[in-house]
Structure 1
Amino acid sequence: MAIDAFEPHPIVRLLGKPSAEFTAGDLVRAVEELELRQVNLRYVGGDGRLKTLAFPINSREHLAEVLTRGERVDGSSVFAGTDTEASDVYIVPRHRTAFLNPFGERRSLDVLCSFYDDGGTPLPYAREQIVRRAAEVLTQETGMTLEAFGELEYYLVDEPERIYPVEEERGYQESGPFSKGQRVREQVLGHLGAMGVPLKYAHSEVGNILEDDRQLVQHEIELQPVPVEQAADHLVLAKWVVREVAYAHGLEATFAPLVSGEGAGNGLHIHSRLVRNGTNTIVNKAGINDTGRRLIAGYLSAARALSAFGNTVPTSYLRFAEGDESPEDICWGTTDRTGLVRVPLAWNGDVLADMVAHANPGSTEPVPEPVTHPQTVELRLGDGSADVHLLLAGMAVAATRGLSDPGSLELAERLSTANHDDFEQLPTSCSEAADVLEAEREKFEADGVFPGQLIDALLAGLRDTDDATQDGEGAHDEAAREALIRRHWHVG
């Protein structure tokens, strides 16, 4: 297979094959030819963060063993509530995820892993297994694949600059020298592309916040659609890379829902589409179709419960109450940024051809068509505190139900901003989100997607995190509010 000349993944270029076809033998060859001396097995822990187990390479035999068999780890230290008397679990490399680690003292090959119990069964409460199971159920019941990608927002925190100082709330797609952190953003793009994470673009965001001793400048990375289980991994990798690059520049990066008493918070909007045999099934020539409306209805009907996965700290709900574009109403609209679900502007072929011809008079080049129609629906629920694997798994569960529920089209009609203006509201606290999830837990536990033990742990965690914010702490008192923001500064 010919590899595209623009392919950024060095291992793909070296091996001459796509990452989906990587084998353990391929990775041994890559390590040898690139003269690497370390392999890192990576996995997503119960806190949603990327973990590392580092192996110095002692021999070819040792390398092949690590890349094939993986290792055992202490599950009780990874997942809350695991029995310490039976906590040994296996992590097994997924070869297609391999990439060169751009950080650390020594160049290394990194591979994401999946969890299995002592009998070799997928560990039901491991994040990657939950979203994988949710995706499998959707495909089994509908014959379609749920593809998704995130819009990842974050702030870089630094001392205020005297030259070309930033202007508050005027950062949207600003260029240097008025934009700060452009080098960080570009390095993040380069690293993620080389790691096999497909990207759409990156830019500075609206949020510019000036305080006496610091400036906070907001940025966004938008990824490309991939099957939902890969989309979750890509978001975790992107967060890790942002933090590493910022740290190398002496900066702090935060994905917190709120970062200041003023200014925009960090959202995590998730775009999705349904694909069958390479065809986007949610759109036709007239726009969003009935399949798309059923998908939207599925998301909206589960939205209050999905908050338990997508909005996991008290500042998430302060953001809902105060953000200019943060949704509260459970509704949807076309290109409307106030609804919980938005159908963004897509490329109409005829209109695009006219625009290209107008912008480039005399050009006779054909306008390339995408392999799969780019139309998506955007769920604007999540923020930087989201447990991304669980949120995407929950979205897959909601999508499956929406596609099968005979009342979905009627619900979509009723919840359209074009027809009504009085809608149900999202939860107002972690505890309320926990109450909703508890009431609807059977939907998520069905088909063995979400284990009951995991739901119990999530409910307890959401309620515990509200204990420190009773009686509206942080909502009105400035000092308490700042303490609350700092307490949930490094989320996800």
Structure 2
Amino acid sequence: QLEILLSTGERVDGSSLFSNMEAGSSDLYVVPKYRTAFLNPFAEIPTIDILCSYFNKDGEPLVSSPENIMFKAHKTLEEKTGYTLDVMGELEYYVISEKEDLFPAKDQRSYHESMPFAKWEVLRLEAMQAIAMAGGQIKYGHSEVGNFSDDKYNYEQNEIEFLPCPMDEAADQLIIAKWIIFMLGYKYGVNISFAPKITVGKAGSGLHIHMKLKKDGKTASIENGKLSDAAKRVIAGILDISQSLTAFGNTIPTAYLRLVPHQEAPTNICWGDRNRSVLIRVPLGWTGDACKMAHIANPLHNEEDKDFSEKQTFEMRCPDGSANIYLLLGGLAVGARHGLEMENSLKLAEELYVNVNIFDKENKIILDKLKQLPSSCWESAEYLLEQKDVYIKYGIFSEGMINDLAKQLKSYNDENLSERLYGKKEAIKKLVEEFIHC
């Protein structure tokens, strides 16, 4: 029976899973993806968990399945341009626990803090071990900036950062990781939130996505020690559709309470090197003489200098924990292809590059020239409809799905939400509680 199940999958009611499916013809197949199988670390009875793919009645990949859309987007990127994207996520979350006064952490000053000031390092370490055992490729984990208390609870922000890997594997790893962290919260009797904002004035949680452009299996992000023209074109393409990408990466009203100035979250469409005020950041990449650092720090280290430039990535900073991960990564693949196909992408990249903190008063002239990200789900939907041709090109997204998603986003009726909520603490608290889990 197990062999049959693994070979044929099972039947499910698609109308209970996909909003655009009619109950009258909603039967779907779900077929296991063998590489995602892992031993459930929480089950009392030994249990193998596994992710599945959706297929229609004819045994074809379901057109509206987010996973299938991501797969098509990335495959088309490679077919049309010869390039691929490896990606990885930085998964931020809050642990919300009963207030403890011993060894209090400094408010909003807990970046890379350690125990006993970071109380939930133990949960993070257990999560990292469980994620790794489930196949997740982890780089490292640490406490994050956000750490504060109210009369009843401590709120401690943590992050687990993954390693770049093929897009489909990265998506599955993030989905499994979120589930594991939720389960550990349940085990320890604490609340876990990946929500983009849990209170005003404190650090929100993002899901930054790092990308590495590759060609023929080798990095194409760096050329002669500098960011390649191909990478710049990809960045330009993603920036060009970034307003509509929020429809996949920032999908709930509280997402737009995070995207405000001075909170290490982007608000305007631009990119830069080592700049945390921009939408796409090119972080340090171990280029140039950086390979010599180990020898300087360790004089007895005699290993020959190596080229570590393949580590270079570029980072999309606006997505958050509400993201539909498959659609978000698929949208980024669409943006990459779009940039490589655009005739003026290098010029656009040059125009959108900034090397200053755009939120400083002396840089207001630069800031005023830059387009803004949406300020609500409603605006995000408007941009998605406006830019839908980029997504439906080559049959990646269907027009019906784009329209359905826009309708869903508009159903929140959150236009001008920030202005409506200004100064209304109870209303903000109620909204945060509504979307605390995503």
Contact 2:144 2:159 in 1 (8 A): yes
Q: Distance in 2 between matches of 1:366 and 1:308?
A: 47
Secondary structure of residue in 2 paired with 1:339 = coil
Q: Contact 1:261–1:482 at 8 Å: present in 2 too? A: no
CA contact 2:206–2:321 (8 Å) conserved in 1: yes
Matches within 5 A, 1:180-259: 180-259=119-198
The correspondence for 1:393, drawn from 326, 330, 339, is 330
Distance in 2, matches of 1:126 and 1:318, equals 29
Gaps of at least 5 residues in structure 1 are 1-61
Deviates more, 1:331-340 or 1:284-293: 284-293
Equivalence map 1:310-389=2 (5 Å): 310-321=249-260, 323-348=262-287, 350-353=289-292, 355-367=293-305, 373-389=310-326
Q: State the distance in 2 between where 1:482 and 1:75 align.
A: 34
Tell me how far 1:278 sits from its aligned partner. Answer: 2.5
Q: Return the letter of the residue paired with 1:393.
A: G
Shift of 1:262: 3.0
Displacement, 1:470? 5.6
Q: Could you say what secondary structure the match of 2:421 adopts?
A: coil
102 and 363 in structure 1: CA distance in 2 versus 1, 3 angstrom threshold: same
Look up the SS of the partner of 1:152 in the other structure: strand
Deviation of 1:445 (Å): 1.3
Q: Name the CA shift for 1:404/1:375 in 2 (closer, same or farther; >3 Å).
A: same
Q: Could you say which residue in structure 2 is the equivalent of 1:445?
A: 392
Residues 471 and 182 (structure 1 numbering): CA distance in 2 closer, same or farther, change over 3 Å? closer
CA distance in 1, matches of 2:11, 2:73: 25
- Whether the 8 Å contact between 2:29 and 2:55 is mirrored in structure 1 is yes
The corresponding residue for 1:489 is 436
Counterpart code for 2:386: A
Given candidates 6, 17, 28, the residue that maps to 1:89 is 28
Identity of aligned residues (%): 40
Q: CA deviation at 1:104?
A: 2.0
| In 2: Cα distance, 1:334 partner to 1:349 partner | 15
Q: Secondary structure at the match of 1:481?
A: helix
Partner SS, residue 447 of structure 1: helix
CA deviation map 1:89-121 (0-9, x unaligned)? 001111122111111221211221111000011
CA contact (8 A) 1:305 1:436 kept: yes
2:79 aligned residue: 140
- Say whether the 8 Å CA contact 1:290–1:409 is kept in structure 2: yes
Deviation at 1:192, TM superposition (A): 0.8
User: Which amino acid letter does the alignment assign opposite residue 433 of structure 2?
Assistant: R
Q: Deviations over 1:123-163 (max 9, x none)?
A: 01112111001111001011121111111100000011121
Aligned counterpart, 2:231: 292
Q: 1:116 aligns with which of 22, 35, 55?
A: 55
After TM superposition, give the deviation of residue 322 of structure 1 in Å: 5.0
What one-letter code is carried by the residue in structure 1 that aligns with 2:143? S
Residues 260-285 of structure 1, C-alpha deviations (whole Å, 9 max, x = no match): 13310011110001112231112123
Letter aligned with residue 413 of structure 2:
D
TM-align CA RMSD: 1.7
- Letter of the aligned partner of 2:171 in structure 1? A
**Amino acid aligned to 1:82:** M
> Is 1:88–1:118's contact at 8 Å kept on the other side of the alignment?
yes
Aligned mate of 1:477, from 421, 424, 436:
424
Which residue is 2:359 aligned to? none
CA distance in 1, matches of 2:415, 2:227: 44
Aligned residue number for residue 154 of structure 1: 93
The count of residues paired between Structure 1 and Structure 2 equals 428
CA 1:180 to 1:423, structure 2 compared with 1: closer, same or farther past 3 Å?
same
Report if aligned partners of 2:376, 2:417 keep a CA contact under 8 Å in 1.
Answer: no
Deviation at 1:255, TM superposition (A): 0.6
Partner of residue 363, structure 2: none
2:258 touches 2:265 (CA, 8 Å); kept in 1? yes
Q: Report whether the alignment pairs 1:427 with 2:393.
A: no
Paired amino acid for 1:263: K
Structure 1 residue 308 corresponds to structure 2 residue 255: no
* Structure 1 pair 314–301 and aligned structure 2 pair: CA distance change class (3 A): same
Helix, strand or coil for the counterpart of 1:66? helix
Q: Does the residue aligned with 2:71 lie in a helix, a strand or coil?
A: helix
Structure-2 residue corresponding to 1:270: 209
State the shift of 1:418 in Å. 3.8
- Cα 1:159–1:357 change in 2 (3 A) is same
Change (3 A) 1:64 1:349: farther
Match of 1:24 in 2: none
Q: Distance in 1 between matches of 2:121 and 2:313?
A: 28
Distance 1:274 1:92 in 2: 30
Match of 1:102 in 2: 41
Q: What is the letter of the counterpart of residue 392 of structure 2?
A: E
Structure-2 separation of matches of 1:100 and 1:437: 39
TM-score by length of 2: 0.94
Code of the residue aligned with 2:145 in structure 1: it is V
The reply on whether 1:436 has 2:383 as its aligned counterpart is: yes
Cross-structure match for 2:341 = 404
Structure 1 length normalisation: TM-score?
Answer: 0.84
Equivalent runs, 1:15-30 vs 2, <5 Å: none
Measure the CA separation in 2 of the matches of 1:347 and 1:435. Answer: 40
Give distance in 2, aligned partners of 1:274 and 1:261.
36
* Aligned 8 A contact 1:168 1:208 in 2: yes
Separation (CA, whole Å) in 1 of partners of 2:24 and 2:416: 35
Deviations 1:283-317 (A, max 9, x none): 12331010110011011101101011111111111
Instruction: Look up the SS of the partner of 1:465 in the other structure.
Output: coil
Shift of 1:388: 1.1
> C-alpha separation between the residues in 2 aligned to 1:221 and 1:190?
11
Q: CA 1:471 to 1:427, structure 2 compared with 1: closer, same or farther past 3 Å?
A: closer
